[in-house]
């Protein structure tokens, strides 16, 4: 159970949920594959379950992205980061609640926030 993503990744409130929504930058309705949390630049971001860092780097509209593989078909994405916590890189083992990075506004964003996704078997849920 400790591997299943199960806590909020940051202290901020939920700004936008999963599903169809009006995209604030593109200006039309489209599917939103994650959750957006209010987070000023530099807000702490936490791992939501035990796992191993699979990716850390720039990736298109996600900007600075961190992906954690939690086993059992689950991965979590933490996007628009400003930086990663010390020692966080591919291969790093993390536990639920560990500091993994800091929020920002990298990638395609209207302002600073954390975009968070949970994937199960390569599909956002």
pLDDT in tens, 77-89: 999 999 999 999 9
For the beta carbon of residue 14, count every other beta carbon within 10 angstroms: 11
* Full DSSP string of 41-65: TT-EEE-SSSEEEEEEEE-GGG-EE
Where is mean pLDDT largest: 16-25, 89-98, 106-115?
A: 89-98
CA-based nearest residue to 109, from 47, 52, 8, 32: 32
Place of tokens 């000023």: 40
* Cβ atoms of residues 85 and 78 within 8 Å: no
Q: What is the pTM of this model?
A: 0.90
Higher pLDDT, 46 or 14: 46
* Cβ atoms of residues 100 and 85 within 8 Å: yes
CA–CA gap between residue 114 and residue 20 (Å, rounded) = 18
> Tens of pLDDT along 41-74?
999 999 999 999 999 999 999 999 999 999 999 9
Instruction: Return the DSSP state at 80.
Output: S
Cα-Cα-Cα-Cα torsion 43, 81, 36, 117, nearest 10 degrees, comes to -120
């Amino acid at each position: 159970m400790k591997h299943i993503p199960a806590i909020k990744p940051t202290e901020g409130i939920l700004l936008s949920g999963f599903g169809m929504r009006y995209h604030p930058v593109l200006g039309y309705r489209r599917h939103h594959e994650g959750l957006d949390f209010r987070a000023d630049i530099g807000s702490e971001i936490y791992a939501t379950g035990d796992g191993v860092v699979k990716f850390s780097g720039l990736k298109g509209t996600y900007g600075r992205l961190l992906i954690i593989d939690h086993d059992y078909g689950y991965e979590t994405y933490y996007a628009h980061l400003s930086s990663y916590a010390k020692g966080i890189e591919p291969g790093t083992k993390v536990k639920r609640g560990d500091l993994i990075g800091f929020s920002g506004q990298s990638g395609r964003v209207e302002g600073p926030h954390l975009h968070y996704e949970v994937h199960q078997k390569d599909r956002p849920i």
